[in-house]
Amino acid sequence: MKFAILVNEGPFNHQAVDTAYQFARAALARGHEVLRVFFYYDGVHNAHRHSAPQADERNIVTRWSKLAEEHSVDLAVCVAAGLRRGVTEAVIAPGFRITGLGQLIEAGIDADRTMVFGD
């Protein structure tokens, strides 16, 4: 099955981010496809390469980058939501790209299921 994932919340602030990540990992492990993870609202902070959590904590940003590297998952960050929050090309981590909201709609059209993570 082809999945599209929408992440609506900021990292560390909300477990939705972790659940989205675990879901993507589990789906891929089962042989499903993850077409795109789209980051919207405070979700855009997931892409910030200056995020530096303490060593005994999970590193949410690098975890996403690794997922993209290992499985060629498209990590798409909304440009408008990003601009509001200072998340621009200059600060995004490897594997992420800045793009328009249209890419979320497109993912919804192309995927068999669109999963939304957030409040």
Partner 1 sequence: MNEQDTDGTVTKRFMVVNRKAPHGTVYALEVLEMVLISAMFDQDVHVAFLDDGVWQLRRGQMPGVLEMKDFSKTYRALEGYGVEKIYVEGESLAERGLSEQDLVIPVEVIARADMARLMDGMDVVLTA
Which residue ranges make up the site for partner 1 (CB under 8 A)?
A: 6, 8, 40-42, 80-81, 100-102, 104-106, 108-109, 114, 116, 118-119
Nearer to partner 1, 55 or 109 (CB): 109
Residue 75 contacts residue 39 (beta carbons within 8 Å): yes
The single residue of 6, 37, 78, 104 carrying the catalytic annotation is: 78
Q: How far apart are CA 29 and CA 32, in angstroms?
A: 7
Nearer to partner 1, 39 or 64 (CB): 39
CB of 9 to partner 1, least distance (A): 10
Q: How far apart are CA 23 and CA 95, in angstroms?
A: 18
End-to-end CA distance of the chain: 25
41 is catalytic: no
Q: Which residues are catalytic?
A: 78
